[in-house]
Amino acid sequence: MSRAPATKSPAPNRSTPLDETRRFSRSLVTPEGVDLGVRIATAGERAGAFLIDAVFMVIAMIVLTILALFAGVRNTQSFDIVAIIWLVGFFVLRNFYFFIFELGARAATPGKRILKIRVASRGGGVLKADAIFARNAMREIEVFLPMSMMAANADSVDGWISLAGFIWTTVFIFFPLFNRDRLRAGDIIAGTWVVQTPRRALLSDLAARPDLPRFESRFTIEQLDAYGIKELHVLENVLRQNLPDSIGLVADRIRRKIGWRKDPNEYDGVFLRDYYAALRKHLESKLLMGQRRADKHHGAKR
């Protein structure tokens, strides 16, 4: 099993969004030797996907019951058909809803598709039908057994058995929270995990500007050396989100840091975009020379 590289955060007490993404990031090395760096789905996404699927299953069951009753009414001499449709429908839904959807090209139930997650074989490799069957057969004890116990529980069963049932249910429901890969019991015996499959659009390149050479010289080497890659990425996020408050805030901080005198006609956004493009060009050319400046603390005070 793969582990994410140990994160050495300069401020271990504070959990930044960056640490949060690293916590869920796992390496997935393709046969071509490239690490795709997938993110595993969070417990919230898993639970949400399951709830959506549960709603779909209940709806399907209601529709099936209505259809069966309809067939029974038209075919008055035998009410058998109602019972058979219902029995088979319930059985198929309960045991094969997840199996059939996860067998498809997207390896995801409708609930998982909506939340943009999918099942994958742990540590790469083809997701096989037997693994999908195994992970979903376990739902029998994770979901359906506790449910039928609760249904049967109402009167007859004594306290100790209800307690045992309660503990059983709790153990399996919270199982994913007690391991770092958010595996439920079914994932463990199937060798699978659930990963995020975000669909990102190709956003425009913020540094793609015809006037780059003209303003590049506006910043001195010292001013461009003030920051590293980490800060560049934060700046990129600020520019893409484009919230006036944070643009102003960040622009002021950068001006102070690099000792930039503000022109009264200068827009904060324009200044930030100029500085972003110049900083990226500066850091990318350093990168080509083999110098990766991780953040502002890296190799400072020379």
Q: Does 189 bind another protein (CB under 8 A)?
A: yes
Collapsing DSSP to helix, strand or coil, 38 comes out as strand
Q: CA quadruple 292, 297, 299, 302: dihedral positive or negative?
A: positive
Angstrom distance (rounded) from CA 48 to CA 192: 19
Of residues 138-177, which lie at the interface with another protein (CB under 8 A)? 138-141, 145
Residue listed under structure tokens 């069951």: 61
Rg (CA), the chain: 28
Cβ distance to another protein smaller for residue 115 or 120 = 120
Single out the segment in contact with another protein by CB under 8 A; choices: 35-43, 62-70, 157-165, 242-250.
35-43
Minimum distance from residue 248 beta carbon to another protein (Å):
22
Q: Does 22 bind another protein (CB under 8 A)?
A: no
Of residues 235-274, which lie at the interface with another protein (CB under 8 A)? 236-237, 240
Q: Does 11 bind another protein (CB under 8 A)?
A: no
Q: Does 126 bind another protein (CB under 8 A)?
A: yes
Tell me which residue of 222, 60, 30 sits closest to 123, measured CA to CA: 30
Tokens of 135: 């992970």
Q: Does 209 bind another protein (CB under 8 A)?
A: yes
Of residues 40-79, which lie at the interface with another protein (CB under 8 A)? none
Minimum distance from residue 259 beta carbon to another protein (Å):
24
What is the phi/psi pair of residue 241, to 5°? -70, -35
Minimum distance from residue 261 beta carbon to another protein (Å):
26
Collapsing DSSP to helix, strand or coil, 293 comes out as coil
